[in-house]
Amino acid sequence: MSKAIRIHTHGGPEVLVPEEADAGKPGRGEILVRHTAIGVNFIDVYHRTGLYPAPNGFPFTPGGEAAGVVLEVGEGVDWLRPGDRIAYVVRLGAYAEQRVVPADQVVPIPDGITDEQAAGMMLKGMTVEYLLRRTFRVKPGDTVLYHAAAGGVGLIFGQWANHLGATVIGTAGSPEKAELARAHGFHHVIDYRRQDFVGEVMRITEGRKCDAVYDSVGKDTFAGSLDCLKRLGTFISFGQSSGPIPPFDIGILAQKGSLYATRPTLFSYNVTRGELEESARALFDVVLSGAVRIRINQRYALADAAQAHADLEARRTTGTTILLP
């Protein structure tokens, strides 16, 4: 019998409870996986608190990102074998020692990338892939602003956007986090606790503002983010760590320069098998090339998932966090 983290009611980190869990046998088109590393992401907090309700109700196992080894393959799966290393991003169920997962949702981990790296980069890295290559296609000479630059997605974003030739501006909450962001591709980092980020963007860009703003913070940064955009700029809201953006008059986009605004999610961009494979391939390629480095800054035992969530919400973490079964 394997272990899994289960949630029986919404609440704080204390609702993450380790329990015995039978992973079951893989059915047609499925595989049984033994996890070697599990990613921790802010979306896991949203599921735990109920901001993003679990589709099948209680109880449920949180987590959507992991790497592991194939133990068994179900009928109809002829491209994977026991012993293969795989990684995946799904909606829920990753906080477990073992689980059954659809084979068409996993990708093989290439040589040169460790299981820990894969578990810590699939959701974050493929998020960066669609943000930079599909939501707003960053090109040399663009200037972009990214909030929460020292987070797991931010540290990948900074390196990748820099690699694409953009001028990359970030915001962070302390001098230490600002320095970390600079070491990961950000040309300019604004300490939002001590500086007005809108004024600093105006200073850095000499009043030209940004081509795009990538905002996972939400309520606290929305108004300022719009003020950082040049005419016809693009506002990309892909998270809400400070709370949801309140309802607003869409006319404000016209007033501020006919701006574009979008609320993308990874699960809308990687719907087909082909989209998943292309997104993963682009991520693996940029990591294997050395242009993007994946570093694991925090490791917790699976049983300590509650502490991992507490530290994440208290902003005591930087970069990538994983659970080890």
Please give the average per-residue pLDDT across 293-303, as a whole number.
95
Distances (CA, A) of 205 to 78, 81, 158, 215: 53, 53, 17, 18
Please tell me what DSSP assigns to residue 96: B
* pLDDT per position as a tens digit, 27-67: 999 999 999 999 999 899 999 999 889 988 999 999 999 99
pLDDT tens digits, one per residue of 184-228: 999 999 999 999 999 999 999 999 999 999 999 999 999 999 999
Containing 165, the helix (H) or strand (E) segment is none
Mean pLDDT of 81-105: 97
Q: Which residue spans of the chain are classified as CATH 3.40.50.720?
A: 136-263
Quick one: tokens of 232? Answer: 């016809």
| pLDDT exceeds 90 at position 318 | no
What is the architecture, at CATH level 2, of domain 136-263?
3-Layer(aba) Sandwich (3.40)
Q: What is the pLDDT of residue 290?
A: 97
Residues 138, 131 contacting (CB under 8 angstroms)? no
CA distances from 316 to 174, 304, 312 (A): 11, 15, 6
Confidence category of residue 91, pLDDT binned at 50, 70, 90: confident
pLDDT of residue 127: 96
Residue with tokens 């972009």: 144
pTM of the predicted structure, to 2 decimals: 0.92
Contact 64, 123 (CB under 8 A): yes
Q: Treating both helix axes as pointing N-terminal to C-terminal, what angle do 42-49 and 305-313 enclose, rounded to 10 degrees?
A: 100
* pLDDT at residue 148 in the model: 93
DSSP state of 265: -
| Neighbour count for residue 235 (Cβ, 10 Å) | 24
Under the phi-then-psi rule, with left for phi > 0, alpha for psi from -120 to 50, and beta for the rest, what region is 138?
beta
Tell me the β-bridge partners of 38.
66, 323
What is the rounded CA–CA span in Å between residue 80 and residue 86? 9
Share of the chain above pLDDT 70, in %: 100
CATH 3.40.50.720 fits 2-122+268-323, yes or no: no
Q: CATH 3.90.180.10: which residues of the chain?
A: 2-122+268-323
> What pLDDT, on a 0 to 100 scale, did the predictor assign at position 241?
84
Specify whether the CB–CB gap between 132 and 157 falls below 8 A: yes
In the chain, % of residues over pLDDT 90: 92
Residue 134: which H helix or E strand, with range? none
How buried is residue 166: exposed, middle or buried, by Cβ count under 10 Å (0-12/13-18/19+)?
A: buried
Instruction: For residues 231-244, give the mean pLDDT.
Output: 93
